[in-house]
Amino acid sequence: MDRIFGGALLLKSPTDWKVVRWETVKSVANNDFTRVVGLIPIAGYLILFNDEIAGMLSFNALAGVGGAERSSFLLDGLSKLRFVFFGSLLVLCSFLIYRLFRPEILEAAKNDLEYSELVRQRYSVYELAQIEERVHSESWVERTEAFWMVLGKKRTKKPVVAGFRPDSRTQMFSKHGDYIGFLAREWWVGMMHTYKPARICSLTLGVLGYAMLAVPSLDIAQAVLRHILTG
């Protein structure tokens, strides 16, 4: 729907919060740390259910606790291993969901402006026509005001790219460069809203996984600090 503001028509689009869009999910579910953590469940399974190894990882020496002294840790060694194991398992699931459902253009450009520039440099007339057809379809949800509003009026869904020959690409960009740039940005933002259940699931699992991974580190940190301060 449109609304009146300052005498001009403005587009009111159903845009999700950035925190639950694919560009944010990527920062949580697909980074260098995620790829390393994803390997932990493979080796962690053997460690978690090996009593001898679990007993060795009490971390008491690190906190300066020995003999019959009372441990300054809030969690025992096995509990820490469990947090690491299940936390890394959640992070791995978050990564797999992201890889399965994420839009391909997110791997090519990190934001709409970067994608718009990529389109200008590399996309063919045929590819642009396909994007325009999708964006002008009845099923498309309008996202960016910069594309849909022209001088205070709603843009009509009239093809501009369609019908151009591949050898006239330069002429097309010269005549409709701004339109194509905004069209690319509209397409990119729209793709960031696809598969909402997968986005929320991947983000939730990733955040919970990192939280579980942080618990053992926080427990070790507080125990070491207590030893230093009371030492």
- Range of lowest pLDDT (82-91, 130-139, 150-159, 215-224): 215-224
Whether the predicted model's global pTM rises above the 0.75 cut: yes
Structure tokens at 196: 């909402």
- pLDDT band for 50, please (50, 70, 90 cuts): low
pLDDT of residue 28: 94
What gap in Å lies between CA 74 and CA 220, rounded to an integer?
A: 9
**What's the pLDDT tens digit per position in 91-136?**
989 999 999 999 999 999 999 999 999 998 888 888 898 999 999 9
Structure tokens at 6: 């300052």
**What's the pLDDT tens digit per position in 53-101?**
555 555 555 445 555 555 666 777 777 878 888 888 899 899 999 999 9
Structure tokens at 147: 């594309």
Q: Per-residue pLDDT averaged across 32-44, rounded?
A: 71
What lies within 8 Å, CB to CB, of 209 at 6+ separation is 37, 87, 88, 89, 90, 91, 92, 93, 94
**What's the pLDDT tens digit per position in 171-204?**
888 888 899 999 999 999 999 999 999 999 999 9
Please report, for the chain, the start and end positions of each structural domain, with discontinuous segments joined by +: 1-103+195-231, 104-191
pLDDT of residue 60: 55
